[in-house]
Amino acid sequence: MKRYLLPKDVYMADPSVHIFNGKIFIYPSHDYYSGIPEDDWGIHFDMKDYHVLSIDGDPMTGKVTDHGVVLKREDIPWAWKQLWDCDVQEKNGKYYMYFPAKDKTGIFRCGVAIADKPEGPFVPQPDPIRGSYSIDYAVLKDDDGSYYMYFGGIMGGQLQRYNEQNEAVNDIVFPKPEEPCFSPRVVKMSDDMLQFAEDPRPIRILNPDYTPMKAGDPHHFFEASWMHKYNGKYYYSWSTGDTHLLCYAIGDNPYGPFIFQGELMTPVLGWTTHHSIVEFNGKWYLFHHDCHPSNGYTPLRSLKVCEIEYDEDGKIKTVDGSTEL
C-alpha cells in the first residue's frame, strides 16, 4: 500500500524525513515547470525554493501540512541556481538545513541554513561549507552524538569532477564496466554543524564476496545517499540512476565498508527515484517520489510513502516501485 502525500498537482521530490519532537517532518525539493528542455545533466531541474511538510500521526493516514516556503534562492548570497535535494538535522535545539546549489561559477556547493523550529523558516549562512562539492547531502545523527554527512551524485551532480582526494580534475574519465564504480562520500561534521571536521572519504560498496562493486553492475552507485540504523547496523542506501533501482548495503560503522544486500525498490515511473527511510511508532517507512501524476514527465515528481518490513536476518523486503494507487 502506498500513499500520495500531496495533491496530485503539487510537485515535490527527494524527500528527506526525520522525527522531530515526536512528529514526522519532510524536507523535499520543489519541482515546477521551468520550461528548460530535459537533458542528461539535469539542467531542467531548476528548483528555486524549499518547503517543509509535516504529518500529524501515522504517515499512512495522518494529515499532511505544508508549512510553505522556508528558504528561497534569492536569499542565499552565494547561490546561482538549482536548489536540489536537501536534508535537516537537529542539535542543541537548532535545526540545520544542508542544501546543494550551484555557485556563480556553476559548481555545486553545500550550503547551510539554520532555524529555531523544524518547520523553519531557515536563515542561510553567507558562504557554503569549505571544501564541499556535489549533491544529495544526507546527515546521520549517530548514537554517540556525532553527525555524519553522506553525499555525491554523478553526471549533473558533478561527482565525476573530483578524485578521491577531493581534488578537482581536468580530465574526467568514467570507469569502464569492469572497473570499480564511482564512490560516494562520507564526512564527519564539525561540532558547530557548519563545516566538515575532516576531509571527505570515499565509501566502499562491496559485493558479498568483498570485491568492489563494478561500474557495469546494475546496482552501482549513482546518487541519492541515505543512512539509517537498524539493530545496531548501518544501512547505507542509494539510487542506481540509469538502471532505476534503489539498493542498500550494510556496515558496522558509519564509514563502511558496506556489503551489498539487495534491491530496496524496483523502478518507479519516471527516470529514477530518491528516498529516505525512517522509523515511527515501531514501524518503518520508505518515502520516495515518482512521476505518475505527470504521466512520466520527469521534471514534475510527486511524493509517496509506504511501509517496509525486515526479515529475520535484517534484510529489507523489496518494494514494487511500479505500483500505482
The pLDDT of residue 1 is: 83
CATH number for 304: 2.115.10.20
The β-bridge partners of 316 are 310
- Other beta carbons within 10 angstroms of residue 274's beta carbon come to 25
Query: In angstroms, rounded to a whole number, what is the distance separating the alpha carbons of residues 223 and 157?
Result: 8
Mean pLDDT confidence for 37-41: 90
In terms of residue numbers, what domain contains 176? 2-308
Phi (first) and psi of residue 210, to 5 degrees: 70, 15
Residue 315 lies in a domain: no
Q: Note whether residue 316 is domain-resident.
A: no
Q: How far apart (Å, rounded) are the C-alpha atoms in residues 48 and 229?
A: 32
At residue 80, the pLDDT reads 97
**For 18, what's the count of Cα atoms within 13 Å in the CB-facing half-sphere?**
21
Which of 33-37, 48-52, 115-119 is the least confident region?
A: 33-37
Residue 135: C-alpha distances to residues 42, 79, 84, 231, 240 (Å): 12, 14, 7, 29, 15
| Residue 325 within any structural domain of the chain | no
Interval 205-256: pLDDT, tens: 999 999 999 999 999 999 999 999 999 999 999 999 999 999 999 999 999 9
CA 90 to chain CA centroid, nearest Å: 17
Q: Is the predicted pLDDT of residue 325 greater than 70, yes or no?
A: no
For the beta carbon of residue 126, count every other beta carbon within 10 angstroms. 8
**In sequence order, what are the residues at sequence separation of 6 or more whose Cβ sits closer than 8 angstroms to the Cβ of residue 194?**
96, 112, 125, 129
289 is written with which cell numbers? Answer: 517520489
Tell me if 277 is assigned to some domain. yes
Give the integer Cα–Cα distance in Å for 175 and 263.
Answer: 22
Mean pLDDT of 47-67: 98
Q: State the cell numbers at 146.
A: 556525532
| Vertex 111 angle, CA 110 and 113, to 5° | 145
**Which of 289, 264, 262 lies closest to 275 in space, CA to CA?**
289
64-78, pLDDT tens digit by residue? Answer: 999 999 999 999 999
Residue 230: what pLDDT?
A: 98
196 touches 190 (CB < 8 A): yes
Give mean pLDDT, residues 52-72.
98
Question: Given a cut of 80, is residue 323 above it in pLDDT?
Answer: no
Say if 319 falls within a structural domain: no
CB atoms within 10 A of CB 93: 7
User: Rg of the Cα trace of the chain?
Assistant: 18
Mean pLDDT of 100-126: 98
Q: How many angstroms separate the CA atoms of 147 and 316, rounded?
A: 24
* Residue located via cell numbers 562491496: 206
Whether 7 is covered by a domain: the verdict is yes
Report the SS3 class of residue 156. Answer: helix
Query: Has residue 288 been placed in a domain?
Result: yes
User: Is 149:226 a contact under the CB 8 Å cutoff?
Assistant: no
What is the predicted pLDDT for the residue at 264? Answer: 97
- CA-nearest of 6, 45, 41 to 292 is 6
The answer to whether position 190 is within a domain reads: yes
What's the number of domains the chain is made of? 1
Averaged pLDDT of the chain: 97
Q: Which residue has the higher pLDDT, 146 or 296?
A: 146
State how far the Cα of 1 lies from the Cα of 319, in Å rounded to an integer: 10
Q: Catalytic residues, which ones?
A: 14, 223
